[in-house]
């Protein structure tokens, strides 16, 4: 069973007078794993439910392998959905839950049982098939929900935050299990999540949604290293932000740093180690960087090839592995993770390698 291709054109959706999707365009290839990533209220679940047919969009079109399915009822779309709440039927056994879709499709009891046994074995549920679902643990329920969805050999699997109710440990292993299953079966998957790392490790491509707009679509490395705008950069962990003056011409970037100007290489493609420049001309710009991609040195120590800003350590904490410092630079408070030990009040420089720097238009 191969996956199906999905094309979403200018999709709009609203709850009453509140518009939650403002013209979404998205093309998903057959067999691709796409993560819809965004904070709560960004419209990612609405987008998924529109694809599944459980929510009627107010405009735009959805195509499945080229056929317009925008108004087709959910039961005729052949997409299986896995819910955050698992939505298992408590009055049925695991076997009945998993076999339900097949029963609906008129399969004989023998075929249903065979398929259920197969899936139960694959998901490690064999010993639980005759239990009612309320007797299962969270991880087991999640597997049943997955088994129920996979039983009908769906060309498209829709995952609505399926891992967010699980324990952290089980969540990590389920990510890989789901990804491996999807790759093995070759089905198309759309996964809704607010967990960046989950989206990064599971998906072929990530769609970042911001207030009902697509903020960026791209492979995990792309959205991580070349965030299209300040919002995406922040969502991808570059929470530190400060303003300065800067300009770019051809190969190089000039950024104002405390007293002097700093010339750094400009990035042209992924992984060339240059500054990610995403502003227009010479002007006030906004710089974003990740706490773990910066280092701290005492102000009097010399460095080479770094962009430096001076500051004072206001707070030191230990989250484990590294030390975390809150550094005051001018009016900004920046967070830096560093192995070396400093104390509160120390005068330090935050050092950024060119590829740690993301420059955006001043907001």
Partner 1 sequence: MTFGNANEMKLRNTHIVTTWVSNFVRYGILALLAFAIFGPIANMLLWAVAEVWYYPHKLPLEYGFSFWERVFREEGNATESLMTSVAIAVLTVIVSLIVAIPAGYSLARGRLPWRYLLLLIFLLPQAFPAVAVHMNIARIFYGFGLTGTIPGVVLVHALQGLVFAVWIATAAFSAVDPELEIAARSMGASKMRAFVDVTLPLALPGVLASAIFVFLISLDEFTGTFFVGAPDVVTVPMLLFTSSMEGNYQIASISSLILLVPSILFMFIIERFLKADVLSKVGA
Interface positions with partner 1 (CB under 8 A): 52-54, 73-76, 78-81, 83, 85, 87-91, 100-101, 104-105, 148-149, 152, 158
Largest CA distance in the chain: 79
Torsion from C-alpha of 87, 89, 95, 101, nearest 10 degrees:
-70
Name the residue nearer to partner 1 (CB basis): 88 or 174: 88
Q: Which of 336, 357, 331 is nearest to 233 (CA)?
A: 357
Distance in Å, CB of 223 to partner 1, minimum: 29
Contact 200, 29 (CB under 8 A): no
Cα–Cα distance for residue pair 92/213, rounded to 1 Å: 40
Q: How far apart are CA 26 and CA 15, in angstroms?
A: 21
Q: Please check whether residue 190 is in contact with residue 28, taking contact to mean a CB–CB distance below 8 angstroms.
A: yes
Smallest separation (angstroms) from partner 1 to the CB of 89? 6
Of the pair 118, 221, the CB lying nearest partner 1 is at 118
Instruction: Provide, rounded to whole angstroms, the least separation between the CB of residue 164 and partner 1.
Output: 14
Name the residue nearer to partner 1 (CB basis): 62 or 79. Answer: 79
Task: Tell me the closest approach of the beta carbon of residue 130 to partner 1, in angstroms.
Answer: 18
Residue whose CB is less far from partner 1, 87 or 270: 87
Beta pairing, strands 33-37 & 188-193: parallel
* Residues 42 and 17 sit within 8 Å (Cβ to Cβ): no
Cβ distance to partner 1 smaller for residue 151 or 285: 151
**Shortest CB 76 distance to partner 1, Å:** 8
């Amino acid at each position: 069973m191969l996956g199906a291709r999905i094309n979403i054109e200018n999709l709009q959706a609203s709850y009453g007078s509140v518009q939650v999707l403002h013209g979404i365009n998205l093309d998903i290839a057959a067999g691709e794993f796409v993560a819809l990533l965004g904070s709560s209220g960004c419209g990612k679940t609405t987008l998924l439910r529109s694809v599944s047919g459980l929510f009627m969009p107010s405009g735009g079109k959805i195509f499945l392998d080229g056929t317009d399915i925008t108004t087709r009822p959910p039961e005729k779309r052949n997409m299986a959905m896995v819910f955050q709440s698992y939505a298992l039927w408590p009055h049925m056994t695991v076997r009945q839950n998993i076999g339900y879709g097949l029963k609906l499709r008129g399969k004989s009891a023998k075929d249903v049982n065979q398929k259920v046994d197969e899936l139960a074995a694959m998901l490690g549920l064999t010993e639980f098939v005759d239990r009612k679902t309320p007797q299962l643990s969270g991880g087991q329920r999640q597997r049943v929900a997955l088994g129920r969805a996979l039983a009908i050999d769906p060309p498209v699997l829709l995952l609505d935050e399926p891992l967010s109710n699980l324990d952290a440990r089980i969540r990590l292993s389920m990510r890989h299990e789901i990804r491996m299953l999807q790759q093995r079966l070759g089905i198309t998957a759309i996964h809704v999540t607010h967990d960046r790392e989950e989206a990064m490790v599971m998906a072929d491509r990530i769609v970042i949604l911001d207030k009902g707009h697509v903020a960026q679509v791209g492979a995990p490395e792309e959205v991580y290293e070349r965030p299209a705008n300040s919002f995406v950069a922040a969502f991808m962990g570059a929470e530190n932000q400060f303003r300065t003056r800067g300009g770019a011409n051809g190969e190089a970037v000039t950024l104002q740093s405390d007293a002097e100007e700093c010339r750094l290489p400009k990035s042209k493609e992924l992984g060339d180690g240059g500054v990610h420049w995403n502003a227009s001309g010479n002007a006030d710009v906004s710089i974003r960087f990740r706490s773990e991609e910066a280092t701290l040195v005492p102000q009097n120590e010399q460095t080479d090839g770094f962009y430096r800003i001076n500051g004072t350590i206001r707070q030191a904490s230990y989250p484990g592995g590294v030390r975390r410092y809150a550094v005051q630079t001018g009016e900004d408070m920046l967070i830096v993770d560093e192995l070396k030990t400093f104390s509160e009040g120390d005068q330090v420089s935050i050092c950024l390698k060119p590829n740690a720097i993301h420059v955006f238009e001043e907001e």
